[in-house]
Amino acid sequence: MSELLTGIGQLVTNDPDRGGTLGTISDAALVIEKDRIAWVGRAVDAPAADTRTDAGGAAVMPGYVDSHTHLVFGGDRAAEFDARMTGQRYSAGGIRSTVSATRAATDDELRARLAGFATELHAQGTTTVEIKSGYGLSVADEERLVRLAAEVTSEVTLLGAHVVAPEFAGRADDYVDLVTGAMLDACAPHSRWIDVFCETGAFTVEQSRRVLEAGAARGLGVRVHANQLGAGGGVLLAVELGAASVDHCTVLSEDDVAALAASDTVCTLLPGVEFSTKQRYPDARRLIDAGVTVALASDCNPGSSFTSSMAFCIALAVREMGMTPEQAVWAATAGGAAALQRTDIGRIGPGARADVLQLRAPSVGYLAYRPGVPLVARVWKDGALVV
């Protein structure tokens, strides 16, 4: 079965050989065969297919790749958000209240919530999502969270080292022993990645190194939360360990930027966090000008960023972080794929997964130009229409 999608006013391929930031083709068409893209090009050159859909001149792009979320949790922290809007500062301490609510939730409650998020993501054009644990902080609870996350995505990250578990207060090194020992044993079979929150109030550079090296020794890829609330050694550690991505990067030194530019580590910016915590936005332009690969992700979680909208992140990146609309769209698709070290998503070309987003707009520039407006017309995931 093949499907021809034609009448595409602007097709974003993210193919560097086609030129420009997004490798766009105008008056374009594409062919989907089973779960893959079989052909892309000008509509006038399109081959025959079993079925034909007309995009009516709309823009079509790869589905969003949201490479950083924390979607397995109980409860919410709406009151904390309200307090921040009237002057309270964000602190990672709130994580512990979500830990209590998550431990109290049953598997079925967490599963139902995850199913709701999966629907919410598709409705907004996200076709790949990474999900971290980190609200369990015991061997049994972290195992539960990565196991449940693995039911909805293959991009599962063990973040047992989110903060020190309440039972280990004042004994952070003992908690790191647990994370690198029994917790890793229980969680590695369900996980692709290991992550750590390397920040004052969470884990030191040395503790973070222990966590990441233990994960890597078990075959997990490395990702890091760093430089969110202040300067620190997390970015340099991530680069040194060859992390796939270092995320947040709100506060960066010149050395951090130079190290990122000379590395293959993607810098994933999470503007929903700055929106929700009222911190200053990171300077994406400075990073891109230095040659750093930048991704955008939602960081969807109940504390620091409770949005799952990649379009909102794009609008913030353009309005507040110095990105062009094209750079922001690239970062939310191909950038996310790079952060997950995936070559089968984040692009539209022969052989890529047929994860496709048709907008209700003539160009992807509308994503920042019309913030908050539902611009998703159709979404294909693995070749099947899901919206």
Binding residues for Fe(3+): 68, 70, 225, 299
Question: Closest distance between ligand NIG and the C-beta of residue 225, in Å?
Answer: 5
| Start-to-end CA span in the chain (Å) | 19
The rounded distance, in Å, linking the Cα atoms of 4 and 7 is 10
Residues that bind Fe ion (CB under 5 A): 299
Adjacent-strand bridge partners of 2: 33
Written as one string, the DSSP assignment of 74-120 is -S--HHHHHHHHTTPPP-GGGHHHHHHHHHHS-HHHHHHHHHHHHHH
Written as one string, the DSSP assignment of 1-19 is -EEEEEEEEEE----GGG-
Q: How far is CA 255 from the centre of its chain?
A: 25
Question: Closest distance between ligand NIG and the C-beta of residue 290, in Å?
Answer: 24
- The binding site for N-formimidoyl-L-glutamate consists of 135, 301, 303
How far is the CA of 163 from the CAs of 80, 307, 357, in angstroms? 18, 22, 36
Question: Closest distance between ligand NIG and the C-beta of residue 304, in Å?
Answer: 4
- The binding site consists of 68, 70, 77, 135, 162, 225, 228, 299, 301, 303-304
CA-only gyration radius of the chain, Å: 20
Identity of the residue, 21 or 279, whose beta carbon is nearer to ligand NIG in the bound complex: 279
- The binding site for 4-imidazolone-5-propanoate consists of 77, 135, 162, 228, 304
Binding mask 226-265 for ligand NIG (x = CB under 6 A): --x-------------------------------------
Question: Closest distance between Fe ion and the C-beta of residue 7, in Å?
Answer: 39
Amino acid at 262: A
Question: Closest distance between Fe ion and the C-beta of residue 272, in Å?
Answer: 10
The rounded distance, in Å, linking the Cα atoms of 144 and 256 is 35
Structure tokens at 364: 């992807």
With CB under 6 A as the contact rule, which of the stretches 54-62, 92-100, 186-194, 307-315 interacts with ligand NIG?
92-100
The rounded distance, in Å, linking the Cα atoms of 58 and 44 is 16
Confirm or reject binding of residue 195 to ligand NIG (CB under 6 A): no
Q: Please say whether the dihedral angle defined by the alpha carbons of residues 44, 49, 54 and 57, taken in this order, is positive or negative.
A: negative
- The binding site for Zn(2+) consists of 68, 70, 225, 299
User: Of ligand NIG, Fe ion, none, which one sits near residue 303, judging by CB under 5 to 8 A according to partner kind?
Assistant: ligand NIG
Q: Which residue is nearest to ligand NIG (CB)?
A: 303
Confirm or reject binding of residue 313 to ligand NIG (CB under 6 A): no
Q: Please say whether the dihedral angle defined by the alpha carbons of residues 319, 228, 231 and 181, taken in this order, is positive or negative.
A: negative
Confirm or reject binding of residue 197 to ligand NIG (CB under 6 A): yes
SS3 57: coil
User: Of Fe ion, ligand NIG, none, which one sits near residue 193, judging by CB under 5 to 8 A according to partner kind?
Assistant: none
What's phi and psi for 181, nearest 5 deg? -110, -100
Binding mask 48-87 for ligand NIG (x = CB under 6 A): ----------------------------------------
Identity of the residue, 248 or 381, whose beta carbon is nearer to ligand NIG in the bound complex: 248
Binding mask 272-311 for ligand NIG (x = CB under 6 A): -x-------------------------x-xxxx-------
Written as one string, the DSSP assignment of 293-338 is -EEE---BBTTTB----HHHHHHHHHHHS---HHHHHHHHTHHHHH
Question: Closest distance between ligand NIG and the C-beta of residue 369, in Å?
Answer: 28
Question: Closest distance between ligand NIG and the C-beta of residue 163, in Å?
Answer: 8
- Site residues (CB under 6 A) for ligand NIG? 92, 94-95, 98, 197, 225, 228, 273, 299, 301-304
